[in-house]
Structure 1
């Protein structure tokens, strides 16, 4: 089998199965495990997969720059936002993450909502200007322009003063084995700091993030109260997540 054919096969298996185990595929194709791993390294360098221990999983398209991500899965993010706002109780304190899905949540909040929102995203804070009943607190720090959020030691320290009822967490990947991931180590640390300050954390997972992974772990799936997604319930990854006892808040699907 020629190298391009082999790599096409690897991508097809990633799409079909949501993962590739290098040892198993090498045995199936009669190749050395090193050959398969080399192919996976080159696919990962091209942004076509995310390498994990023993093989690879699909790479998340949500690691693109902020402007690009604003145009990715727009309808899916709106559906997730519509479901997520149902978790926000009047009078509660909510930590709202940064990113394009969190921005969709901010825009979907009822205009008459009375609540407190804490965020490290200037764009999310600006979207809440039109909500007169929402008290907004912005956590300061170094601006991470890729996601338009603050991060770093100052932002983590500021988060330590917050006590919230709910954290709506944005990630770039939700995978049964890799857990909840994102593309930057400092951003992952900030998300963990925010999760520690909330009674419940729910993940905002538009459909392109389901079954994908990024380089840095945010939290294990067992550390969150649930995943809000519009991925179809019979999707293979969703079936695997429920087998792990992950609570799913089902948003409307494409068919719904």
Structure 2
């Protein structure tokens, strides 16, 4: 079998089953596991999957640059943002992550709402600048351009002084076993810091992130109080998260 044929088969297994187990593929093709692992390395280098112990999972489209991410599930992100915005109550202190779905949440906060939004995203802060009832606290630090958020020691120190009611978390991957993941170690650390300072962490979970994985874990799935998902995501897709004890909020 040609290399291109093996890789095409691996991607078909990934599409069909939602994961690839290297040992099973090697047995099916009567090839060594080293050969399959080499193919997985190549496909991961092309951004077509995310390698994990024993095989691979789908790579999240949310790993793309900001301009490309704006084109992924735009209607779903609007719906999730609108539903998440309804969870914010008057007088609350809310930590709001960066990213395209968080921006939609900011846009859909009720006009008459009075609350405090703390964010490390300049883009989110600018979106809220003209909201009459929202007090905006902007966390500073080194700008991580991929997500347009502040990271680093200065951001971590500022976050440690905050006590919030809610944290709306953006991720690039959500998996029942691997948990909540993103593509950068420093950004993952900042997200963990934000989650620690909130009574509840709510994940903004657009469909392309479900079942996908990225290189750096933010937290296990058990750290999430709830996930906001699109209304038409099939029940079988979200059932593993429900079984894990995460409250599902349909947008």
Q: TM-score scaled to structure 1, two decimals? A: 0.95
Q: Is the 8 A contact 1:231 1:238 kept in 2?
A: no
In the alignment, the residues of structure 2 paired with residue 136 and residue 168 of structure 1 have an alpha-carbon distance, to the nearest angstrom, of 15
Q: Is the 8 A contact 1:233 1:239 kept in 2?
A: no
CA separation of 1:233 and 1:147: change in aligned 2, threshold 3 A:
closer
* Equivalent residue runs for 1:1-256 within 5 Å: 1-230=1-230, 232-234=232-234, 236-251=236-251
Match of 1:118, SS state, is: strand
Which segments of structure 1 move beyond 4 Å, counting only runs of 4 or more? none
User: In the TM superposition, what is the alpha-carbon distance from 1:231 to its structure 2 partner?
Assistant: 6.3
Gaps of 5+ in 1: 252-256
Match of 1:76, SS state, is: helix
In the alignment, the residues of structure 1 paired with residue 232 and residue 75 of structure 2 have an alpha-carbon distance, to the nearest angstrom, of 14
Deviates more, 1:64-73 or 1:54-63: 64-73
In the alignment, the residues of structure 2 paired with residue 85 and residue 211 of structure 1 have an alpha-carbon distance, to the nearest angstrom, of 24
Match of 1:130, SS state, is: coil
In the alignment, the residues of structure 1 paired with residue 17 and residue 236 of structure 2 have an alpha-carbon distance, to the nearest angstrom, of 8
Q: CA RMSD in A?
A: 1.2
In the alignment, the residues of structure 2 paired with residue 243 and residue 196 of structure 1 have an alpha-carbon distance, to the nearest angstrom, of 23
In the alignment, the residues of structure 2 paired with residue 167 and residue 142 of structure 1 have an alpha-carbon distance, to the nearest angstrom, of 21
Q: TM-score scaled to structure 2, two decimals? A: 0.97
In the alignment, the residues of structure 2 paired with residue 42 and residue 235 of structure 1 have an alpha-carbon distance, to the nearest angstrom, of 33
In the alignment, the residues of structure 1 paired with residue 71 and residue 237 of structure 2 have an alpha-carbon distance, to the nearest angstrom, of 24
Deviates more, 1:184-193 or 1:240-249: 240-249
Aligned length in residues? 251
Q: Is the 8 A contact 2:207 2:233 kept in 1?
A: no
Which residue number in structure 2 is paired with residue 254 of structure 1? none
Gaps of 5+ in 2: none
* Superposed CA offset, 1:186-245 (max 9, x none): 000000000000000000011111111111001110011011111645354312222322
In the alignment, the residues of structure 2 paired with residue 199 and residue 244 of structure 1 have an alpha-carbon distance, to the nearest angstrom, of 19
Q: Is the 8 A contact 1:111 1:130 kept in 2?
A: no
